[in-house]
Each structure stands twice: as C-alpha cells, then as structure tokens.
Chains A and B, each alone.
Chain A
C-alpha cells in the first residue's frame, strides 16, 4: 500500500532552516510528482510547490521562491523540503503529497514550530 512517512516535529529559532523528509513506499517513486503543502495552526491549506522525482524539476509558489528548496533521493525513494530564514509565521504543519492529476496520497504531516 502507498505510504508517505514524514520526519518528526521540529522546533527552530527565527532565522534558522529546517529540512523535512518524506519517505515513500508502495509505489514507483519516480512516476508521481511530489507536492508540499502547509497549514498554519487553525488555518487553511497553502500550496508551496512540487518536484518531479524523475527529473528533479521543481515548481515553487512565488511566495516561497528563494527560501524553499525541494529535492529528492531516488535511491531511497525520499523527498525533502528545505525552508530557510524561518519566521514565526512559518509555524505550521508541513505535508508532502503524491500527485497524479492532483495530490492523492498525503504524508501524516510534520509540525515545524518557529519560536525564540
């Protein structure tokens, strides 16, 4: 069965960076795009970008351009989201989500808390 297992919760100080991993199983990793979506506490969903695991090509929301980097390691079927220059309003649950037409299977989410 399809599984996306994300890394554990993180607490970071403002200005720091965070890297969240998304380990996949149960499907061919390079056959589906991987999207990243975040959700601030009590708020809605916000799309951050996607990576094509086969080619490494990425597409970022302009809001995050220059601060977010999506990468992947095909040898271990794992995708990564790196967010730099963290601010307090980056506190959120970050999700990876496999996509065919649209995201269909989601990871369990990773809470990133940014606090001094």
Chain B
C-alpha cells in the first residue's frame, strides 16, 4: 500500500497567518492527491483535488501544489473557521490511503 506521511501532525497558528501542510507519498502518485478539512463531529469536506484544483465553493485562500511524491496545502490567511484537522488522500493506487492528519489549532 502507498503510505502517505503528513507533517506536521499539529501546528498552532494565529488568524491571518500563512500556513503550509506537507504530504509525502511513499511512491510516485503523479498528481492524484486530494486535501480534506474535517471539523470535530463532522464529515470531511473536499478542498483540493488533482493536487491543485480548487473544489467548487472553497475559498481561494486554500491552494495545493506538488506532484510525484511531495505535496503541499497552503492557507494564505488563516481564518477562525479554518481551525480543523486536514487530511491528504492519494487516489493513484489501491487501497486508497489517507495521511494521518494535521490538526491546526489556535495559538
């Protein structure tokens, strides 16, 4: 199975900060990567697909980049509603695998 390693596992940041979350795949997955946001007690919500395509309705402060094995999710100006846990998902091989998650907390 393809392993997806996210870093950091958690981070503390302030409103209006720029943050980046990384996801590294154990093998080349082209650009077959998605990013999700999950708030406590809620289902995940799709932010980015195909590594850098913004899902309809998602604010433009969210962006994704990367290809091959290294990917990044960037939030350009953190808003109060962005404090949540973020997961990457590879959709290149089976089984589909998620990163372990990055919890973004208020500093």
Chain A residues engaging chain B, CB cutoff 8 angstroms: 35, 37, 44-47, 59, 61-63, 95, 97, 101-104, 106-109
Contacts and interface: CB of A to CB of B under 8 A. Distances in A.
A101 B43 contact: no
7 contacts: A45-B38, A46-B98, A101-B49, A102-B89, A103-B44, A103-B89, A106-B44
Given A95-B43, A102-B46, A107-B43, A47 B55 contact: no
Given A102-B91, A104-B55, A47 B98 contact: yes
Nearest to A100: B49
A106 B43 contact: yes
B95 A44 contact: no
B75 interface: no
Interface string B27-41: 000000010101000
B71 interface: no
Interface string B65-107: 0000000000000000000000101010011111111000000
Contact of A61 (B44, B55, B95): B95
A95 B87 CA distance: 15
Given A101-B50, A101-B91, A102-B34, A44 B43 contact: no
